[in-house]
Structure 1
Amino acid sequence: MDTMKSARKNETGEVGSDLSEQIKAATKDNHVRAENTQLMLSYQKGEITLVQYKVLLCSLYEIYRALEDELDRNASHPAVAPIYFPQELARVESLERDLEHFFGSEWRKRVIVPAATLRYGHRLRQIGRENPELLVAHAYTRYLGDLSGGQVLGKITQKSLGLSSKEGLSFFHFPGVSSPNRFKQLYRSRMNSIELTEKEKAAVLEEAVQAFELNIQVFDDLQKMLSVATETADQHKDRSPAAVLPSSPIVQFTVGLCVALATIGVGMYAL
């Protein structure tokens, strides 16, 4: 109920009836919370390594595989059909190319994701089975965020990793979208045309908030993991030169997840 009330007004205080405006209003506080995490700020400063980026790709792959499996399965659902743009937006194949570039042909055996990412994927599959209209909230926050931040994030990543070409950066490119701004307008228009009852609309707004909360929970969990891993590394540092942070696979994995999941949230901000 509180989410529905907060979504009734846009930034000027006027009542907004469009679903896209209401989602933006309902998730405003969540945006601020996620934007101000140290992880988010770190990525925007270009503080990312190749190991961290590889882990990012693994997490993104798990999330988008779940999302796009459910969108495909519910493509004819009246709430999903208007915002179903597989040719223009689908990210799974792009992520597979990136993963193969960095991990090789056996990349599927090397994909590692944290429990929080698995929980997000589980949520997507659950609503795909039980309440497909809620997929609208996740598709909106993910795809429009990627379209908005893709070019900037791609350049940050390329510069941070010192990549000389666009190989390994397919995720950030949308060859089927000639104008991101025009496409976002089309997407919002199609989404706003979806016919929902007041109860269904309220549920979609709550799910949009949940989408951000899932990411914020991931940030919090990873910050705790990083703290524990750093403390462990410090305890062993004086005992053995081999125990420093960069040489520990577990610590590398934790640090990578922190930056990676921060990246996942970055795109959401330019909705």
Structure 2
Amino acid sequence: MVTNLATQLKEGTAKSHSLVENIKFIKMFISGVLTKTSYRKLLANLYFIYSSLENEIDKHNSNPLIGPINFQTLHRKKSLEKDLKYYYGENWKSLIKPSKATLIYTQRIEKISAHKPELLIAHAYTRYLGDLSGGQLLKKITKKSLQLQEEGAGLDFYNFKNIENLQEFKKIYKDALNSLQLDRDCTNSIIAEANTAFKLNMSIFQEFSVSTSQLIIMLIKNLALSFLGRENS
């Protein structure tokens, strides 16, 4: 039996994780080059992904390989609904639709749920640990880039209000992964599926394009804001 799934997932997806970080949209995001239009479009796509993932995971909650890692406090659907209402307005549901890459992503989730539900572990790991880790950095960047003043408004996706200590909870989640009774073949399949999840995410990020003119404008804007911040401090 494999007892260190969390470590094996981290090591087995290291290359994929690096590839995602080097996608143009992500590099621009991390640099603070982010528009409200692109961000709300990203949230819309994430809404469809998390809706699908959480629906399928809940279906298999009695599965001994799924139940232990199905923490309701991690679910993001309701948080995304709040953000979409903030960015699109009350009628947000009628204004959003999944992109081509997002449809492929959700179809993959539904397919494995029907035939190999244990592979949902890979998608939960990829999404939720990312939200608890790098997602917290993206939260700060988003708040600054979009000049969000009110605490929490437009940032609910990154807020885990029912988790007091994110670092401690990450350990709890990893311990839950390590507690699963998996053989070598199943473990390898989950790691392979986690890499597939990274590729599916990459396809979504690659749909976002930042033109040279947009990049220059945003960089100038960010530099100006930084200068004003220093002047007023």
Query: TM-score per shorter chain, which class?
Result: 0.7 to 0.9
Q: Does 1:214 align with 2:197?
A: no
Do the aligned partners of 2:69 and 2:173 also contact (CA within 8 Å) in 1? yes
Pair 123,153 (structure 1): closer, same or farther in 2 beyond 3 Å = same
Matching residue's letter, 2:5: L
Q: How many residues align?
A: 212
Q: Give the alignment's Cα RMSD to 1 decimal.
A: 2.0
Q: 2:58 is matched with which residue: 72, 75, 89?
A: 72
Q: 1:43 is matched with which residue: 16, 29, 47?
A: 29
Q: Which moved more, 1:186-195 or 1:147-156?
A: 147-156
Name the counterpart of 1:238: none
- TM-score, normalized by length of structure 1? 0.74
Name the counterpart of 1:92: 77
Name the counterpart of 1:5: none
Distance 2:204 2:74 in 1: 25
Name the counterpart of 1:105: 90
Do the aligned partners of 1:103 and 1:110 also contact (CA within 8 Å) in 2? yes
Do the aligned partners of 1:137 and 1:205 also contact (CA within 8 Å) in 2? yes
Name the counterpart of 2:154: 168
Unaligned runs of 5+ in 1: 1-15, 231-244, 247-271
CA deviation map 1:1-57 (0-9, x unaligned): xxxxxxxxxxxxxxx951111111111111121212222210001111111111011
Distance 2:43 2:9 in 1: 27
Name the counterpart of 1:150: 135
Name the counterpart of 1:124: 109
Q: Matched residues, percent identical? A: 40
CA deviation map 1:98-133 (0-9, x unaligned): 111221221111013210011111111111121111
Do the aligned partners of 2:26 and 2:205 also contact (CA within 8 Å) in 1? no
CA deviation map 1:167-216 (0-9, x unaligned): 11100100111111110101101111101122211111110111111122
Distance 2:97 2:182 in 1: 38
Unaligned runs of 5+ in 2: 215-233
Matching residue's letter, 1:39: F
Moved over 4 A (4+): none
SS at structure 1 position matched to 2:144: helix
Distance 1:179 1:53 in 2: 26
